[in-house]
Amino acid sequence: MNPSVITTVDLQEGRVTAALQAVLQSETFQRTKRLRELLQYLVSETLAGRGERLKQFTIAVDAFGRDGGFDPRVDTSVRTEAWRLRTRLELYYRTEGVMDLVRISLPKGGFTPRFQFMPKSIGEAVALPAVREQPRPRLLVLPFSGLSIDEPDLVTSFHEEISLYLANLPSVAVLSQGSSQKFGQAAMDLRLVSRASQASYVMEGSLFRQGRTYRLNLRIIDPILDVTVWSGRHEQQVDDMIVFQRQVATEVASSVHGWLCSRATTLIGEDEMAPRYVLRDNMLLREYLRGAIRDRTAGEQVVLGLGRLTCGYADEATTMFNQAIMASPDDGLPHTAMGLGYLQAGRLEEAYQAAGRGVELAPRSAFAVSSLAAICMHMRDFDGAIMFAQRSVALAPEFDAVKLMLGDCFLYAGLANTAIAQLEDTCRLMDEHPIALAHLGYAYAQTGQKTKARRILNVLQDSGDNPEGPNSAAMTMIHVGLQEVEQAFHWLDQALTSRAHTQELLLLTSPAYDILRSHPHFNSFAGRLNAS
């Protein structure tokens, strides 16, 4: 047993309570009211000595307000929410909470939280194991400069303290003090420094003093692109220099770690699938996946399965994805693809589990995270969908399809103005692709701007780019937004007949099509989704 894990918390309740409040007030949990309430309930019950009572039935009744007829064999909502809470806690401690000295976790297979008390010195802290081993970026911390500083040792001590704290991060490899001195003394171009030291990034710093006020400016530079990718400033009146140095070093290490975990995946080469225009057409997706095979980042069964999925054959696709998972169980891509297959088939619980496994195996893949966001949206967990979509955008800013989905999430969450602004901006980024126009037109219709929605319908109708006529999926979506059911079914019939855009409809679960699913004609259309 890990000696840092405390199973009895009688003497530590104050620290645990403070740690709980830090989690509940964090940005990671800001929009997840249900998860905050669940976490508070689980921790409170454990601290009160009732951890052994935390079973599915008890949680459903006490925390979720369910009645006594709750049957965990049929209703998996408690297990699903526990999985979401576990995933969100892991995300928090990889980013905002990386420096927290008390960590709350929810072990798999149970509902009683555990509390881990980290050593007070970051240098003694045990690094959390990475989900997947990756080459760490190399950081060269150049000697800091001093302005109005008569004590060179003071500048050096800041440099050493910050370098020490950064060196204990699991997300970066800090070059030695010798390398720092060697390259700091030479007036070299940063590109030459990078080439000679093999550093991925270079940190520069300057310390300034005016009276009792000290200001430290820091920045991290990508020497190849010659751009600043991270910066920080710390300024205050100082009575105790050692305390100030430790405070600054702790804040810098936390901020740098958060940036490293959220930076664009193109810098670390982990993301397997994040094409700029993933909704452009099916051919682009297929060509991208062929490239993935050449780069050995995707299996043939995944590519074949996604090809079938883009044509609407979800059952055939999931069979192929399952074969890929059996062949490569530790590869996140097949699990993510399986999640999308289940999503199109309307099997949301299974989709959530599969996509969640994909994110566990490939936490920095924008494609994996965005797929989980899409599934959350279809499960009506709009807060979770927004969080994962924003994380995907942070990982791959060029992934415009995720920005489109983020606009949808804002709309469904009741943030109309934010949704319209997001969708209008994304529509411009995607060169007014028909599907982007469709999402914007739907949002216009849903927010009472019907004239603008009809204007988009006219644009789609008059478009001469496609000899086969307007994009039937796009036309369906806007007519649904306008609540014109007959016209929507007309265009839906064409979409299912051509099978060119059925993957963009997600008829069985999308909140956009609730009005169609309540119509008696819908079942006959739904039955055509997997027709071979």
Q: At what angle do helices 348-361 and 332-344 cross, to 10 degrees?
A: 160
More confident residue, 400 or 452: 452
Query: Residue 195's pLDDT is what?
Result: 67
- CA-CA distance, 325 to 329, in Å (whole number)? 5
Residue type, 245: Q
Query: Residue 239's pLDDT is what?
Result: 86
Q: Which helix (H) or strand (E) holds 129?
A: none
- CA-CA distance, 283 to 285, in Å (whole number)? 5
On the 0-12 / 13-18 / 19+ scale of CB atoms within 10 A, 153 is exposed
Query: Residue 66's pLDDT is what?
Result: 84
Query: Residue 280's pLDDT is what?
Result: 33
DSSP character at residue 503: G
Query: Residue 352's pLDDT is what?
Result: 92
Query: Residue 307's pLDDT is what?
Result: 65
More confident residue, 119 or 29: 29
276-303 pLDDT per residue, tens: 333 333 333 443 444 444 444 455 667 6
Mean pLDDT across 264-283: 35
Q: Contact 43/24 with Cβ under 8 angstroms?
A: no
Averaging pLDDT over each range in 249-253, 263-267, 404-408, which range is the top one?
404-408
Q: Contact 145/205 with Cβ under 8 angstroms?
A: yes
Q: Which residues lie closer than 8 Å to 373 by C-beta, 6 or more apart?
A: 384, 385, 386, 387, 388, 389, 391, 392, 402, 405, 406, 409
Q: Is the pLDDT of residue 156 over 50?
A: yes
**Domains along the chain?**
5-118 (no CATH), 138-263 (3.40.50.10610), 265-416 (1.25.40.10), 432-532 (no CATH)
Query: Residue 452's pLDDT is what?
Result: 93
Q: Which residues lie closer than 8 Å to 523 by C-beta, 6 or more apart?
A: none
Nearest Cα neighbor of 359 from 345, 339, 383 is: 339
Nearest Cα neighbor of 201 from 131, 270, 259, 271 is: 259
Mean pLDDT across 260-284: 40
Query: Residue 451's pLDDT is what?
Result: 93
More confident residue, 22 or 130: 22
Mean pLDDT across 169-179: 83
Query: Residue 10's pLDDT is what?
Result: 46
Distances (CA, A) of 297 to 21, 200, 226, 270, 302: 41, 23, 30, 9, 10
Q: Is the pLDDT of residue 262 over 90?
A: no
Query: Residue 108's pLDDT is what?
Result: 82
Query: Residue 272's pLDDT is what?
Result: 37
Where would I find the beta strands (DSSP E) of 132-254?
138-141, 145-147, 173-174, 201-210, 213-222, 227-237
- CA-CA distance, 519 to 522, in Å (whole number)? 6
336-382 pLDDT per residue, tens: 888 888 888 888 899 999 999 988 888 877 788 888 998 999 898 88
67-123 pLDDT per residue, tens: 888 887 777 778 878 888 888 888 788 766 777 788 999 988 789 999 888 765 433
Which of 103-107, 189-193, 262-266 is predicted least confidently? 262-266
What string of DSSP letters covers 92-126? HHHTTTTT-SEEEE--TT----EEEE--SSGGGPP
Which of 225-234, 261-270, 389-398, 502-511 is predicted least confidently? 261-270
Does the pTM exceed 0.75? no
- Among the residues of 103-240, which ranges form H helices? 152-167, 177-185, 190-197
